[in-house]
Structure 1
Amino acid sequence: MNLQYKTIVVTGGGSGMGRELVIALLKKGAKVAAIDINKDSLEETVRIAGDYGINASTFVLDITDKSAVEETVKEMLVRLKSIDGLINNAGIIQPFAAVNDLDDKTTERVMNVNFWGTYYLTKTILPHLLTRPEAHIVNVSSMGGFIPFPTQTIYGASKAAVKILTEGLYAELKNTAVNVTVVHPGAIMTNITQNSGLGGPKVDNNDKNNMALSPSKAAQIIIRAMEKNKFRATVGKDAWFLDKLYRLAPKFATNFIGKMMKKSLAQH
């Protein structure tokens, strides 16, 4: 997909990887409709974009509210006239706890943001995308969407649902002008723990011991996958490695991740 002059919707555009996606798309010559639940964060994204920010529009939205999603998309089409692409990036994690120790409210919130929010935006925008000469849907899953991470089981289930939704859409839209890509990021240097309402310290992006990928690098990989109309993209060496390992030996990979998670949690 040639992104120049296209209008792309990005959820979670107020911080982290979403912010980097917005800025990178603007630099590609696209117009961007940035969505986030936090108004101040969206305004900061536009400020950081500098002169490129003239092609950014912001929309404050709770993506778990179906009627609000529908109204916002109507507003977008009035203001922007058309939509050529959607990147469903917004997502949250769960508290680091076993399923047995989670309450239903927490579980529902994770599913609502990660799956239903993605579904609502996709379902609402898709009819319009089908009218465009070229369009694209990118849904951000996770490496937790194809391999289980103990104490993030519900998060993983929500991202696995995103994976299958996206792959199903790909098959259904194969003979249309709408391309579909599922993305599986590994560890990214974002403040997803804090943004998920779980507290904790902010990520130190200058920490040399932090092996996670930078949000800007992750955004570049995602946009490149969009430009090349890829079916699937892993982001980061950890996601690539675990994808291969899980396909080769799923039980071994599951036990391996379990040990790594236990060790990591013990250190914190």
Structure 2
Amino acid sequence: MKIKDKVWVVTGGGSGMGRELVLQLLARGGRVAVADINEAGMQETAQLAGNVGARLSIHTLNIADKEQVLAFPEQVLAAHGAVDGLINNAGIIQPFIKVNDLEFAAIEKVMNVNFYGTLYMVKAFLPHLLERPEAHIANISSMGGFLPVPGQTFYGASKAAVKLLTEGLHSELIDSPVKVTVIFPGAVNTNISVNSGLQAPAERQAEDSPIQPLDAGKAAEIMLDGIEKDKYRVLVGKDARFMDAYSRLSPKGAARLIYKKMKELLS
């Protein structure tokens, strides 16, 4: 589905990859309703967008709050008159802590934001999307959704759940006007650690990596190109493409490679 003249809802649009998605959707002629828990961040996104008038609206929203999310479509319809596309981008990582040592509160927070937040958004907007001549849902999973990353096991579990949710939606909606895409970013240069309330060691890991994190703007471009082509799945970055192929060829070998990369960070 082409982006131009369509109304898009983007979660997590107050910073990082979400912000880039918003700016590029606007640049391609779309209208955007931005949802984020960080109102100041959304205001910055709006300033960067420049004079786009009514094509952009901002909405403070906690996607982990089911009642807030279920009431949200009416805000979008009031601002834009319709909704054609949903990009579930908002997400957080967990502290870099092993399963045995991570508190239940941290586990539940990750699952509530990453999986249930995505599920709530889909359930809230799907009835409206089904009424459109054409529509699109894009859910952002992660390379960690198909490959185990020690110290991010629950983050990976939440993103694996997003993967299966999205693939299930695709199958259920094949004969409908709603296209569905699942997106797997590798390492992308964003401030997800800060937004997750963490001081994670991902930056130290990136310094020694032969594949540097992808620029958030380039990542957003790849995602939107995939959405416009109605792709079933989109792999974002050389690392995501490589590990996707390697994990299919040798799941255990791919898992051991990631373990070696992460071992120092967990010691």
Q: TM-score, normalised by structure 1?
A: 0.94
1:231 matched to 2:228? The reply is: no
Deviations 1:168-224 (A, max 9, x none): 0000000111000000000000011111001369979xx998810000000000000
**Residue pairs, 1:40-189, within 5 angstroms:** 40-52=40-52, 54-189=54-189
Query: Cα RMSD (Å) of the superposition?
Result: 1.9
Deviations 1:68-89 (A, max 9, x none): 1111222211221100000000
Q: What secondary structure, in the 3-state scheme, does the structure 1 residue paired with 2:158 have?
A: helix
| CA distance 1:103–1:128, change in 2 (3 Å) | same
Equivalent-residue separation in structure 1 for 2:191 and 2:213 (angstroms): 12
Query: Contact between 1:191 and 1:203, CA under 8 Å: does it hold in 2?
Result: no
Q: What secondary structure, in the 3-state scheme, does the structure 2 residue paired with 1:51 have?
A: coil
Query: Contact between 1:191 and 1:202, CA under 8 Å: does it hold in 2?
Result: no
Instruction: Give the C-alpha shift of residue 98 in structure 1.
Output: 0.4
**Residue pairs, 1:183-222, within 5 angstroms:** 183-199=183-199, 211-222=212-223
| CA distance 1:176–1:52, change in 2 (3 Å) | same
Q: What secondary structure, in the 3-state scheme, does the structure 2 residue paired with 1:64 have?
A: coil
Equivalent-residue separation in structure 2 for 1:200 and 1:194 (angstroms): 8
Query: Contact between 1:26 and 1:53, CA under 8 Å: does it hold in 2?
Result: no
Instruction: Give the C-alpha shift of residue 100 in structure 1.
Output: 0.5
Q: What secondary structure, in the 3-state scheme, does the structure 2 residue paired with 1:243 have?
A: helix
Deviations 1:133-168 (A, max 9, x none): 010000000000000000000000000000000000
Instruction: Give the C-alpha shift of residue 51 in structure 1.
Output: 2.4
Query: Contact between 2:201 and 2:265, CA under 8 Å: does it hold in 1?
Result: no
Which of 49-58 and 65-74 deviates more? 49-58
Query: Contact between 1:13 and 1:42, CA under 8 Å: does it hold in 2?
Result: yes
Counterpart in the other structure of 2:241: 240
Equivalent-residue separation in structure 2 for 1:202 and 1:26 (angstroms): 31
Which amino acid in 2 is paired with 1:246? Answer: S
Which amino acid in 1 is paired with 2:34? Answer: A
Counterpart in the other structure of 2:27: 27
Deviations 1:120-145 (A, max 9, x none): 00011000000000100000000000
Equivalent-residue separation in structure 2 for 1:104 and 1:53 (angstroms): 44
Query: Contact between 2:35 and 2:59, CA under 8 Å: does it hold in 1?
Result: yes
Q: TM-score, normalised by structure 2?
A: 0.95
Equivalent-residue separation in structure 2 for 1:201 and 1:97 (angstroms): 11
Counterpart in the other structure of 2:262: 261
Instruction: Give the C-alpha shift of residue 249 in structure 1.
Output: 0.3
| CA distance 1:253–1:200, change in 2 (3 Å) | closer
Q: What secondary structure, in the 3-state scheme, does the structure 2 residue paired with 1:13 have?
A: coil
Between Structure 1 and Structure 2, how many residues are aligned?
264
Equivalent-residue separation in structure 1 for 2:143 and 2:165 (angstroms): 15
Equivalent-residue separation in structure 1 for 2:247 and 2:53 (angstroms): 41
| CA distance 1:12–1:259, change in 2 (3 Å) | same
Which of 18-27 and 45-54 deviates more? 45-54
Q: What secondary structure, in the 3-state scheme, does the structure 1 residue paired with 2:184 have?
A: strand
